[in-house]
């Protein structure tokens, strides 16, 4: 076949068709401006043969990029219709490297050529075809720089100043790409972006201009760039502020449960009925108000001289009421004492549905809001509480664990920054167990990246061996050294079980009672004064 391939003439296409009639084939004339893109797994094992001339190399390459969209790693054979200079072939191979075609052969003047990209483009003439299948040169970068940008997005990738005052890089995705470059004898080169904050627009422009080869960060899936194989799925969680302590004046009311109120009412009703019954049996008279006041005074342990003139049955009723009130009072006091010691808190947000009874807003960057709006199954309460903020403000809220909002992030950032509250007696945030959505974890690359297949194999080995999990665990230690993780501490550990504020509600009730007493006492005084004045002015005859 190689002999016939070298002897190229105008009848070659017809002869190729006749000899390979049993092989599925597609013959395209790109000069007719046909827009075609091959897709599907069945097209991965293909050989693309491109016939070209020196004056249409760029045009042919642009057509191949569209034809082999996301299939740039397949085999491509370029056939020149006449002898070409090495400089022309070098230009062809430079374009192949730019667009990610690494499995390339060029047939020129009965000689097969390929290229080696590292450390620079080198044209290699093949003596036999088996040399083409030797791809060891692609696994040795020979110091080739793998370009990437670094944004401040802990724990994935970020800058920090080390103890020597030098600018250093950290992050588990940064370590992942750095290890990839070192494993294949390359080096990591940072490309400075206009800002250290994550900016999707700048990243897409850098990908399109081939200014960066790989991105050490997690992006959402967009058609503007390619991505590696998915490592795993990250869950998106919501962080709810930990329940605030209950106001101290509420401690007086909390022990008064519905059961305790029921027992108090039953005791009062029993005592009142008993007093009324005994009064009826003794004097055939019933006074409900008097029985109620006497019973209430017994419950509140107020002294009364009435019982010195009572019968034995009435005294027994009083003693029984005192015993019952003692049990109720003891139950109330013990419950309140345990609440003083353990402290009470407002209702905790434990689910997404609980957000509706709070006033918390949910800050989120514009890019995240746009991505979430395309998802299905997001509760409406989430959209109702959204608050658009800048990426820097969003990052600062998470880093400071600002309890004024409910925060939502992917689990790697949640675990990283919630580690700051490890030594708090009362944590700032609690994780809502319900996951909001899932996000695939992958590494973003520009379309037509020549490193895609090699990086996918490396990624699978790193994940299966547990190295990736180790990188993620070590990111917490890096966060401590870089001061991205700043442990919060409890402001005060002084425990004061009782304060004046605990009894403020009692003072309010007492003041209200005094006010009500005054409002009833002074009219009586005025009325009595009027009666005395009237009696003085008009004495009886």
- CATH code, domain with 265: 1.10.287
**Domain-embedded: residue 106:** yes
Last residue of some domain: 282, 309, 342? 342
**Domain-embedded: residue 14:** yes
**Looking at the structure, do residues 80 and 182 belong to the same domain, yes or no?**
no
Q: How many domains does the chain have?
A: 4
Q: State the pLDDT at residue 7.
A: 34
pLDDT tens digits in sequence order for the chain, 541 residues long: 333 333 334 455 555 556 555 666 666 666 655 566 776 565 667 888 888 776 778 888 888 888 888 888 888 988 887 766 667 888 899 999 999 999 999 988 888 899 999 999 999 999 888 888 888 999 999 999 999 988 888 899 998 988 888 889 999 999 999 999 999 999 999 988 876 666 777 888 888 888 899 998 888 877 888 899 998 999 999 999 999 888 888 888 888 888 888 888 888 888 788 878 877 777 667 778 777 877 777 777 665 545 556 667 767 777 777 778 788 888 888 888 888 887 888 889 999 999 999 999 999 998 889 888 888 889 999 999 999 999 889 999 999 999 999 999 999 999 999 999 999 988 999 999 899 999 999 999 998 899 999 999 999 999 999 999 999 999 999 999 898 999 998 776 566 667 777 778 888 888 888 887 777 777 766 766 655 554 444 454 5
Strand order in the sheet with 122-126: 47-52, 75-80, 104-108, 111-116, 122-126
Residues recorded for the chain: 541
**Measuring CA to CA, which residue among 74, 24, 424 is closest to residue 241?**
424
Do residues 317 and 278 touch, judged by C-beta distance below 8 A? yes
**Looking at the structure, do residues 130 and 30 belong to the same domain, yes or no?**
yes
C-alpha span between 538 and 541 (Å, rounded): 9
**Looking at the structure, do residues 47 and 125 belong to the same domain, yes or no?**
yes
Q: Which two tokens stand for residue 274?
A: 């008993």
Provide the CATH number for the domain around residue 145: 3.40.190.10
Q: Which two tokens stand for residue 359?
A: 């006033």
Instruction: Give the Cβ contact number of residue 491 at 10 Å.
Output: 8
Q: Which two tokens stand for residue 230?
A: 């998915």
Q: What is the dihedral of CA 347, 350, 351, 356, to 10 degrees?
A: 20
**Looking at the structure, do residues 223 and 183 belong to the same domain, yes or no?**
yes
Place of tokens 């191949």: 64
**Looking at the structure, do residues 119 and 6 belong to the same domain, yes or no?**
yes
Place of tokens 């501490």: 489
DSSP, res 246: P
C-alpha span between 266 and 270 (Å, rounded): 6
**Domain-embedded: residue 388:** no
C-alpha span between 280 and 260 (Å, rounded): 30
**Measuring CA to CA, which residue among 60, 63, 71 is closest to residue 35?**
63
Instruction: Give the Cβ contact number of residue 310 at 10 Å.
Output: 18
**Domain-embedded: residue 312:** yes
**Looking at the structure, do residues 126 and 146 belong to the same domain, yes or no?**
no
Q: State the pLDDT at residue 18.
A: 61
* SS3 assignment, position 365: strand
List, in sequence order, every beta strand (DSSP E) within 327-459: 362-365, 386-389, 407-410, 429-441, 444-445
**Looking at the structure, do residues 220 and 321 belong to the same domain, yes or no?**
no
Do residues 483 and 252 touch, judged by C-beta distance below 8 A? no
**Looking at the structure, do residues 211 and 131 belong to the same domain, yes or no?**
no
Q: Which two tokens stand for residue 393?
A: 């403000």
Cα angle 117, 128, 82 (rounded to 5 degrees) comes to 75
**Looking at the structure, do residues 21 and 117 belong to the same domain, yes or no?**
yes
Rg (CA), the chain: 42
**Measuring CA to CA, which residue among 421, 390, 384 is closest to residue 406?**
384
Query: How far does CA 121 lie from the centroid of its chain?
Result: 44
CA dist 212 to 150, 151, 447, 451, 452, Å? 11, 13, 11, 12, 13
Do residues 395 and 199 touch, judged by C-beta distance below 8 A? no
Cis peptide bond upstream of 290, omega within 30: no
**Looking at the structure, do residues 166 and 267 belong to the same domain, yes or no?**
no
Count CA within 13 A, CB hemisphere, residue 531.
6
Do residues 485 and 413 touch, judged by C-beta distance below 8 A? no
**Backbone phi, psi, residue 161, to 5°:** -100, 120
DSSP, res 50: E
pTM of the model: 0.77
Last residue of some domain: 98, 124, 139? 139
Instruction: Give the Cβ contact number of residue 338 at 10 Å.
Output: 10
C-alpha span between 280 and 266 (Å, rounded): 21
C-alpha span between 468 and 460 (Å, rounded): 10
C-alpha span between 170 and 478 (Å, rounded): 7
C-alpha span between 27 and 247 (Å, rounded): 80
Q: State the pLDDT at residue 183.
A: 94
Helix (H) or strand (E) segment spanning residue 510: helix 504-537
Q: Which two tokens stand for residue 252?
A: 């007086």
**Looking at the structure, do residues 481 and 531 belong to the same domain, yes or no?**
no
**Domain-embedded: residue 494:** no
CA dist 369 to 323, 345, 386, 477, Å? 64, 32, 8, 31
Domain range for 308 is 255-342
Query: How far does CA 358 lie from the centroid of its chain?
Result: 20
Cα angle 365, 369, 370 (rounded to 5 degrees) comes to 120
Last residue of some domain: 342, 359, 381? 342
**Looking at the structure, do residues 17 and 131 belong to the same domain, yes or no?**
yes
Do residues 234 and 453 touch, judged by C-beta distance below 8 A? no
Q: Which two tokens stand for residue 529?
A: 């004064």
C-alpha span between 360 and 351 (Å, rounded): 14
Per-residue burial over 9-36, b = 16 or more CB atoms within 10 Å of its CB, e = otherwise: eeebeeebeeeeeeeeeeeeebeeeeee
**Domain-embedded: residue 242:** no
C-alpha span between 204 and 30 (Å, rounded): 29
Place of tokens 């290229």: 115
């Amino acid at each position: 076949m190689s002999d016939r391939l070298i002897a190229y003439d105008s009848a070659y296409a017809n002869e190729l068709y006749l000899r390979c009639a049993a092989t599925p084939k597609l013959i395209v004339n790109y000069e007719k401006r046909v827009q075609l893109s091959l897709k599907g797994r069945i097209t991965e094992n293909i050989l693309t043969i491109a016939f070209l001339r020196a004056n249409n190399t760029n045009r042919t390459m642009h057509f191949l990029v569209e034809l082999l969209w996301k299939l740039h790693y397949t085999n491509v054979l370029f056939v020149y219709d006449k002898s070409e200079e090495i400089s022309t072939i070098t230009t062809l191979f430079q374009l192949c490297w730019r667009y990610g075609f690494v499995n390339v052969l060029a047939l020129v003047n009965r000689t097969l050529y390929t290229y080696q990209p590292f450390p620079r483009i080198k044209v290699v003439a093949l003596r036999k075809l088996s040399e083409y299948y030797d791809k060891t040169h692609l696994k040795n970068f020979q110091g080739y720089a793998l370009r990437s940008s670094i944004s401040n997005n802990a724990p994935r990738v970020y800058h920090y100043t080390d103890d020597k005052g030098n600018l250093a890089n950290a992050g588990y995705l940064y370590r992942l790409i750095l290890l990839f470059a070192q494993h294949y004898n390359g080096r990591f080169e940072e490309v400075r972006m206009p800002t250290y904050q994550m900016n999707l627009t700048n990243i897409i422009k850098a990908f399109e201009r081939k200014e960066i080869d790989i991105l050490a960060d997690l992006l959402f899936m967009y058609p503007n760039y390619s991505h590696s194989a998915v490592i795993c799925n990250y869950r998106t969680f919501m962080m709810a502020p930990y329940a605030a302590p209950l106001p101290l004046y509420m401690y007086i009311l909390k022990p008064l449960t519905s059961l305790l109120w029921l027992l108090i009412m039953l005791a009062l009703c029993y005592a009142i009925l008993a007093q009324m019954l005994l009064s009826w049996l003794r004097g055939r008279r019933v006074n409900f108000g008097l029985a109620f006041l006497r019973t209430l005074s017994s419950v509140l342990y107020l002294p009364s001289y009435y019982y010195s003139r009572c019968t034995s049955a009435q005294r027994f009723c009083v003693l029984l009421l005192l015993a019952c009130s003692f049990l109720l009072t003891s139950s109330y006091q013990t419950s309140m004492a345990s609440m003083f010691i353990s402290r009470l808190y407002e209702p905790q947000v434990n689910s997404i549905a609980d957000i509706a009874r709070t006033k918390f807003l949910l800050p989120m960057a514009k890019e995240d809001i746009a991505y979430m709006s395309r998802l299905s199954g997001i509760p409406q309460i989430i959209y109702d509480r959204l608050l658009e903020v800048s990426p820097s403000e969003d990052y600062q809220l998470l880093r400071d664990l600002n309890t004024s909002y409910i925060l939502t992030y992917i689990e790697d950032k949640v675990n990283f920054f919630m580690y700051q509250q490890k030594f708090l007696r009362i944590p700032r945030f609690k994780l809502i167990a319900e996951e909001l959505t899932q996000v695939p974890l992958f590494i973003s690359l520009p379309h037509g990246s020549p490193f895609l297949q090699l990086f996918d194999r490396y990624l699978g080995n790193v994940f299966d061996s547990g190295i990736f999990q180790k990188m993620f665990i070590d990111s917490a230690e890096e966060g401590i050294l870089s001061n991205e993780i700043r442990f919060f501490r409890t402001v005060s550990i002084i425990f004061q079980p009782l304060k004046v504020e605990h009894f403020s509600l009692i003072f309010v009730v007492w003041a209200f009672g005094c006010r009500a007493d005054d409002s009833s006492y002074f009219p009586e005084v005025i009325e009595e004064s009027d009666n005395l004045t009237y009696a003085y002015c008009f004495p009886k005859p």
